[in-house]
Structure 1
Amino acid sequence: MKVAVMGYGTVGSGVAEVIETHEKSISNRTGGEVLEVARILDLRDFKGDPHEALFTKDFNDILNDDEIKVVAETMGGVNPAFDFTMKLLESGKSVVTSNKELVAQKGLELLQAAEKHGVNYLFEASVGGGIPIIRPMAQCLAANNIEGIAGILNGTTNFILTKMIEDGMTFEDALKLAQDNGFAEKDPTADIEGFDACRKVCILASLAFGKHVYPNQVKAEGITKITLEDVSYISSANGVIKLLGQIKKINDDKITAFVSPAVVFNGSQLASVNGVFNAILVRGDAVGDVCFYGQGAGKLPTASAVVADMVDCAVHVERRKNFGWGAGSEDYVADEKAVLEMPFYVRAKASENAVMSAFSDVKFLSRKGQPSDEVAFITDSMTENQLVKKLEGIDVINTIKVTNY
């Protein structure tokens, strides 16, 4: 079967490589069908590349080739990826993607187009890179009512936090090290401010609960306010700080979905996920907690997930998989600050007496070199709005959510 790749960057070149180097294992899974890369779309020149003869700068070369049945979109961004993908689906070609931004923004429209034209739109690689999570949630956990999801969804921020926790590096030094090692972009904003994780939360929430969630509905707080002082205080409580994407079902018509730093205690499966690794914990009413762990990015791990979707499309070339979600609504995602109760970590310039007069039950924390006028503590469960009210008049330095995953 002829296939095509749009975008020959890190992931796209990995897709071509995996297809060629795993021909036998792929054909075993397709009932003998061999995937053949017929076209590669990219505006750049790749002189001397082994696939040089396959390159085209004209999208129509793929669109109008009736022999090409499956296309991998690894371009990134919304445009022109959305326009190209829509035209391919309308022409009767299945499309697979690693493009989390596109799926988060336009997934509903593309899934509807795939359904209308009897083809497939799959995106296993859009969340967690090489970690299988989309297909297990859609199929293996289908008998469960999903109660909640918590995930370490960004390797850059997890690397930075790991260096702060294990090596005592400042945020700035850990970020520079991540950039030097190729784990962070020159402009790391999407990672460190939580926007990348936000897009993945949208996809997971849409899949888990069947209604599309858009990035503007998911509040994202990054890790730029986390300091070594916070790390030290939380360590004294046998916890670590992780950037988590969290999703929780409130009722059939409401969920919460957000990205923020969170205190994770050492007994949690998420606490030991370090470096650039990702992990996604899914809580079902029948299965309990299930954790998916692995490399969340990288050329070959992500490419392996893209090619797995291409194989799935090849197997289902004459029929469409029952896969996707429906429309959401403006008020579908509730403000977690108003409805979600949890403990909080607080660091402030205040006395213990001032804290105890505002809170009925707190656990005070300590660290080496703690100033006499500084306190840190963990509250009992309450909403964030209630916390803010209790903290009125207290000089707060930082607050961090405490997770129960």
Structure 2
Amino acid sequence: MKSEITIGLLGFGVVGSGVATILHEHQADLSYKLGVPVKIKKVLVKDATKKRDTALAQETFTTDIDELIEDRSIDLIVEVMGGTTEAKEAIERALRAGKGVVTANKDVMAESGFDLLKLADENKCDLFYEASVGGGIPLIRTLEDGLASDRIRALTGIVNGTTNFILTKMKHEKKTYEEALAEATELGFAESDPSADVDGIDAARKMVILASLAFSTEVHMDDVFVRGMGVIQDGDLELAEHFGYTVKMAGSAKKDEDGIEVAVEPVFIQNSHPLASVNNEFNAVYVYGDAVGETMFYGPGAGSLPTATSVTGDVIAACRNLLLGVNGKRMHAPQFTCEVKNDSQIIGRYFHRISIKDQVGVLTNLSSIYSKHGASIATVVQPEGKPNNEVDLIMITHHISRQQHQNILQDLQQAPEVNKVISYYRVEGENR
């Protein structure tokens, strides 16, 4: 029986310092729950001489990763250094050295998760990654354990706090995109380069991880349909509200007999749906299972202590496995081949905002385009014309395929009556 468990910590930034704080301040609770103390022996940093506000001794810090990987007394590696190449190499080295790994790195897990999980299986090690999605929300553990007996059919949610914060400020405080982004940056919710967030890449990586786990298959970034929030135009949020919707940057993953579809894009969510009321930097994910039905997981999607809480939860799980001698016993090979749907198999409702010439017969001509592609229209609104003889036409379709939707857009853009297609959104949160 081990008398204590020692940890090597890779990185001491926002999350790493949070992990150290929790392990220090909650040591009595952890020792009680595990039966042995859990201590950080070494921390890998870029500058070991830098003064830090921490209870860890100065000699704990090092710039040499070999002091962590090659030290046989270190039982577990916690990777919170961020980045991709160095982090992936560090995780690989740790697993080959027979050490379990806990990581918060969504980029590495989305791009190389299957290879790393296979490596963990081969070396009889644990690899936990709860904090890679949803910050402090226990999504991974819920899918792996709590809902393991169920068949998950769909996940829909807000998995990026930065874009949700921006959209909340734009809707409720009438701020411009630039003003909302500046506030998000000032508060630390957005990086100095926010492109991964606002372009949907961050959310897509998280949806790759969630979909792969939920459907027991191997989903890749290339399988995800992605539209960034840059497509949102002036007036769209107000129009959404007028029709009873809220614009959210949402991720979705669905599986049926035709295959899998995964997407990240701005969508119109019906105001009555709980996701419509998730505001600011908070995340929320709806999970639909055959047996459990609908469940929703809500909480802070980022931040030092919420994310560190998820990391520490994985640390406890890894420690228990070590103490019980069952580390590395869980196989991670996907159960099913990933069959991705084509555009003709992906069904949804769509909102179209079109700038048209304000003249007789336009509505009839444009309606014929929808009919030509087998699409029926649920809502048509044509406001009063503008002084320049232009008007915005709003069309909301019944359920059509993404291919039909794309064909309609192509024809609309070529129609002489149309000035331009201003914006379009998939409509979510309604029962089919």
The interval holding the TM-score normalised by the smaller chain is over 0.9
CA spacing shift, 1:167–1:297, aligned 2, 3 Å? same
Alignment correspondent of 2:40: 37
Cα deviation 1:330-363 (Å, max 9, x = unaligned): x73334x321111101100125444433333231
The alpha carbon displacement at 1:369 in A equals 9.9
The alpha carbon displacement at 1:385 in A equals 1.4
TM-score, with length taken from structure 2: 0.88
Alignment correspondent of 2:169: 163
Q: Distance in 2 between matches of 1:369 and 1:43?
A: 62
- 1:400 and 2:425 correspond: yes
Alignment correspondent of 1:361: 377
Matches within 5 A, 1:202-217: 202-217=208-223
TM-score, with length taken from structure 1: 0.94
Alignment correspondent of 1:383: 401
Partner secondary structure for residue 229 of structure 2: coil
What amino acid does structure 2 have at the position aligned with 1:380? H
Alignment correspondent of 1:324: 332
Q: Does the CA contact (< 8 Å) of 1:108 and 1:327 recur in 2?
A: no
Alignment correspondent of 1:218: 224
What amino acid does structure 2 have at the position aligned with 1:2? T
Alignment correspondent of 1:101: 107
Partner secondary structure for residue 18 of structure 1: helix
Q: Does the CA contact (< 8 Å) of 1:207 and 1:324 recur in 2?
A: no
User: Structure 2 stretches of 5 or more lacking a match?
Assistant: 357-361, 371-375
The alpha carbon displacement at 1:228 in A equals 3.6
The alpha carbon displacement at 1:323 in A equals 5.4
Cα deviation 1:294-314 (Å, max 9, x = unaligned): 000000000010011011000
What amino acid does structure 1 have at the position aligned with 2:319? A
Identical-residue share of aligned pairs (%): 35
Q: Distance in 1 between matches of 2:12 and 2:382?
A: 51
Matches within 5 A, 1:6-405: 6-30=10-34, 32-45=35-48, 47-49=50-52, 50=54, 51=56, 52-251=58-257, 254-317=259-322, 318-320=325-327, 321-322=329-330, 324-326=332-334, 332-335=339-342, 337-350=343-356, 351-359=362-370, 360-365=376-381, 373-391=391-409, 392=411, 393=415, 394=418, 395-404=420-429
What amino acid does structure 1 have at the position aligned with 2:44? L
Partner secondary structure for residue 83 of structure 1: helix
More displaced 10-residue stretch of structure 1: 211-220 or 124-133: 211-220
What amino acid does structure 1 have at the position aligned with 2:408? K
Q: Does the CA contact (< 8 Å) of 1:73 and 1:81 recur in 2?
A: yes
Q: Please give the root-mean-square deviation of Cα atoms over the aligned residues, in Å.
A: 2.0
CA spacing shift, 1:302–1:228, aligned 2, 3 Å? same
CA spacing shift, 1:34–1:189, aligned 2, 3 Å? same
Aligned residues: 401
What amino acid does structure 2 have at the position aligned with 1:381? H
Q: Distance in 2 between matches of 1:368 and 1:273?
A: 34
What amino acid does structure 2 have at the position aligned with 1:387? H
User: Structure 1 stretches of 5 or more lacking a match?
Assistant: none
Partner secondary structure for residue 213 of structure 1: coil
CA spacing shift, 1:75–1:53, aligned 2, 3 Å? same
CA spacing shift, 1:354–1:232, aligned 2, 3 Å? farther
Q: Distance in 1 between matches of 2:350 and 2:188?
A: 34
CA spacing shift, 1:365–1:46, aligned 2, 3 Å? farther
Cα deviation 1:161-192 (Å, max 9, x = unaligned): 11111112222221122112221111110000
Q: Distance in 1 between matches of 2:80 and 2:306?
A: 14
